[in-house]
Structure 1
Amino acid sequence: RRPGHRDSKEMNDPMDVKLTGTVKQVLEEQTGEGRNGPWRKQEFILETEGDYPKEVCIVQWGEKIEELGVKEGERLTVHVDIQSREYGGRWYTDVKAWRVERQAGAAPSGPPPAEEPFPAPSDPGALDDDLPF
């Protein structure tokens, strides 16, 4: 259980924000050094479902990158925390993923399967070169 978060049996809590959609893009991982030590984050773009789909940039921090394992093309329900902070007189908002549920029928899009090369004949002299044209 994460500190400050609900137990799974409390998932109907009105503060449990969930977004369902398809991962359109997984951005490059970013790293840096902060006052608390090194940090890592990776963002992904989720296109929501419905009559008026929206694209939402969601961030994963630290070990959540591997734990959640988000891939392009997956259909997911993402549980998020929404948090804003002020810096230099401006406000910034993060939509942070803390749990992912994979939806049925969701297949990550990856590189196409490698094509098998056409097998070479075992005896090249055995080919019939008589073509009808």
Structure 2
Amino acid sequence: MALELVGKLVKVLPEVTGQSQKGPWNKQEFVIETLDSQYPKKVCMTAWGEKANDLKQFAAGDTLKATFSAESREYNDRWYTELRAFRLELAEGGESTPAAGGYQAPVSRPAQPAARPAAQSQPAGMPFNTSFDEESNDLPF
């Protein structure tokens, strides 16, 4: 399952390396802040191997499109989720922030309703910016 996220590269965390039976490995975590929401969210993703090296071509403030897979695993009755980026590229129209690191005004968006009725809540697994109205509901019940 491939998912995509477009956002501003906020931070690149230190690279982690190690040795396994199959040989050396490396990974690098990075944080992207979403752009398409009234309340931006920060998301930590992981790039492994050559993709960690690809991450070095981007700078903080670049607008990236990250294609990733989500995977969870259990260890000692606790669950851990990893968002593994397997493609990183500049988003269309994505430019670096000014070298001086100046403030960029947020993009104005149309006003959103304060709350949605319970019948119009978002189903699990739908993109954050998807909305429904009664006419587009094709469910038989």
Structure 1 stretch displaced more, 86-95 or 32-41: 32-41
Runs of 4+ in structure 1 displaced over 4 angstroms? Answer: 108-112
Q: Distance in 2 between matches of 1:52 and 1:79?
A: 22
Q: Is the 8 A contact 1:71 1:109 kept in 2?
A: no
Q: Is residue 74–residue 109 contact of structure 1 (8 Å, CA) maintained in 2?
A: no
Using the alignment, how far apart are the partners of 2:59 and 2:68 within structure 1?
17
Structure 1: state its 5+ residue gaps: 1-14, 113-133
Aligned residues: 98
Q: Determine which structure has more spread, i.e. the larger CA radius of gyration.
A: 1
Alignment partner, residue 89 of structure 1: 77
Match of 1:106 among 91, 95, 120: 95
For residue 49 of structure 2, what is the aligned residue in structure 1? 62
Change (3 A) 1:62 1:109: farther
Give the letter for the 1:85 counterpart.
R
Tell me the SS of whatever aligns to 1:93: strand
Question: After alignment, is 68-77 or 18-27 more displaced?
Answer: 68-77
Amino acid in structure 1 at the alignment position of 2:95: A
TM-score normalised by structure 2 residue count: 0.61
TM-score normalised over the length of structure 1: 0.64
SS in 2 for 1:91: strand
The one-letter code matched in structure 1 to 2:84 is K
The CA distance in 1 between the partners of 2:45 and 2:5, in whole Å, is: 10
Specify the code of the residue in structure 1 equivalent to 2:90: R
Superposed, 1:30-69 pairs within 5 Å as 30-49=16-35, 50-68=37-55, 69=57
SS in 2 for 1:82: strand
Deviation track 1:82-126 (CA, whole Å, cap 9, x = no partner) reads 0111222221111011112312241166689xxxxxxxxxxxxxx
Contact 2:54 2:88 (C-alpha < 8 Å) held by counterparts: no
